[in-house]
Amino acid sequence: MHFSNFFNLNLNGHEDIDFIDINLNTDIKLFIDPCIIENSNDSFSKECSYVINSFFDSIFNCCTSNNDYELYKLLDFGHEPNETKLGLSRHQSSGKGATSKVLYDIFKEVSNKNLIKDGIIANPMDLCVFVDNFAEDRLSDLLTNILRKKLYDFTKLQCKKLNIPLTDKKQVLGCYWDPHLNCWNTLEDYPLKANNLLLLLVPKTFVRPNYFYSVSQYLQHKVLSQRQTYHQVNQTSLAKITYDKHGNVVFKKPSKKSIYTAEIKGHPRKSYAQIYSKKNPDTLKDFRKYMLQKSLLPEAKLSNEELDRIVYKKSVKIS
């Protein structure tokens, strides 16, 4: 049953609402995307981006100063969230969520490898490109905790618009990141519930089924393109040999697939991306600019039709 059905909302689809019409029975495979939030111009997105950056500034400072005690404190904030009903279903997650121990091990690896000091990681999105065991599921769960108060404020506003009642008794709703105090705080307020489930609504502009900003995008659009040029210019064995009309040998770029097979396949992609970026820092800078431009395109955000297809299983192509 969807949220709209439970509260008897007469909807034509996501064109009528500002949030994801979640399924109360299972999670929907959508993830909060920090790149989309970071590059949106509306005031709410800017407020959320401020909160996100405040948290990661604190985390990254602990990593660069090797302050393990403070790092663990910052990551010991609560539980795997399920209030949004987004992401991987809890019974399918197999520990892939944002638990404190898992997150500490991940960021300790970032610290040990000097990924921040070396400029490999400069923002939350970089984590999904270069850190093992960290992708959409974990980052989205972490962002849910960080933004819990903002998401609650959004939820309360949507409920007011649609005359959906909150419960009449306050309760602890979980932890959220307070950017003014630079610490975790406890949110206590009147919850939104359905079938006794505690719920948080998420802006429909915040989510994607996969991140643009990923190791796959980095390798495909920047690293392998650069390697194509290298092999052509240096006339390596991977370069394609053809002949012009005069019979002269011409070296052409090899396919990305052939380069991937020769240089990357069989190796951890994120480790390869780390090593390559340290040797070629301009490639990473170029990728970040490319991602900024891509995130500003209209198709970066899911259309109402695309959301309907994902949420209601309607047939429409996703860009």
98 pLDDT band, cuts 50/70/90, is low
> Is the predicted pLDDT of residue 79 greater than 80, yes or no?
no
Cβ burial, residue 166 (10 Å; 0-12/13-18/19+): middle
**Main-chain phi, psi angles of 243, to 5 degrees:** -130, 140
Q: Using one digit for the tens of pLDDT, what is the confidence trace for 287-311?
A: 999 999 999 988 899 999 999 999 9
> Is the predicted pLDDT of residue 119 greater than 80, yes or no?
yes
Q: Using one digit for the tens of pLDDT, what is the confidence trace for 167-187?
A: 999 999 999 999 999 999 999
Rounded to an integer, what distance in angstroms lies between the CA atom of residue 215 and that of residue 124? 13
Q: Once rounded to an integer, what is the mean pLDDT over residues 95-106?
A: 77
Top pLDDT among 196 and 149 is at: 149
Per-residue model confidence (pLDDT) at position 246:
87
Mean pLDDT, the chain, whole residue set = 93
Q: Using one digit for the tens of pLDDT, what is the confidence trace for 190-240?
A: 999 999 999 999 999 999 999 989 999 999 999 999 999 999 999 999 999
Rounded to an integer, what distance in angstroms lies between the CA atom of residue 119 and that of residue 286? 13
Per-residue model confidence (pLDDT) at position 316:
43
Q: Once rounded to an integer, what is the mean pLDDT over residues 251-263?
A: 96
Per-residue model confidence (pLDDT) at position 93:
38
Per-residue model confidence (pLDDT) at position 298:
87
Per-residue model confidence (pLDDT) at position 136:
94
Cα–Cα distances in angstroms (integers) from residue 254 to residues 258, 267, 276, in the given order: 7, 20, 19
